[in-house]
Amino acid sequence: MKNLTSERKLKVAEDSLNRMNRVTTKSALWMPYFHTFLSNIFNAKEDLLYDYAEKYDLGISKYDSIYADDFENKAKDQNNQSASKFIEWYKDEWNKLSDVDVVKALKKCLDIEKQLADKPLQSYVGISEMISLQGMDIHDACKKMYELINDFINDAHRKFP
């Protein structure tokens, strides 16, 4: 597969992570880097569905909203066994990842950030307090999240070339 959306999003997340690591959380630059990281790391996982919908010719455009259930329904409607196996694997693996503390914590950060989008200082305070309550360093948490999503995407490419 070429020109993969998920890999482009993962690269943007990696670049943002590298930039975050070069500044302190007190820097005015940190929050925009963190926002870009969060958005792209979660989108990379979601964009994997678009990549495979295209691979399996399910008729789902990158401009359509897509969820795992949508993918699964299209695969069943078209009786596409390869796509069905992929989405079964995807859902199982994502369910496992969703139980990992760092994934839970950063998902909460993303939710806080969305709720407080017009209040950046409050967003930062809410996120930093929430992460510190989880007993995690924010940079370490982001690095771990990157590694988990990178592995998830690479595993998909290995198992479903």
Task: Please state, in angstroms and rounded to a whole number, the distance separating the CA atoms of residues 21 and 33.
Answer: 10
Residues with Cβ < 8 Å from 45, sequence gap 6 or more?
Answer: 6, 94, 149, 152, 153
> pTM, whole model, 2 decimals?
0.86
**Tens digits of pLDDT across the chain (161 residues):** 556 789 999 999 999 999 999 998 778 888 889 889 999 999 999 999 999 999 999 999 888 888 999 999 999 999 999 999 999 999 999 999 999 988 988 888 777 666 655 655 455 555 665 566 566 788 888 999 999 999 999 999 999 99
**What is the DSSP secondary-structure string of 23-54?**
S-TTSTTHHHHHHHHHHHHHHHHHHHHHHHHH
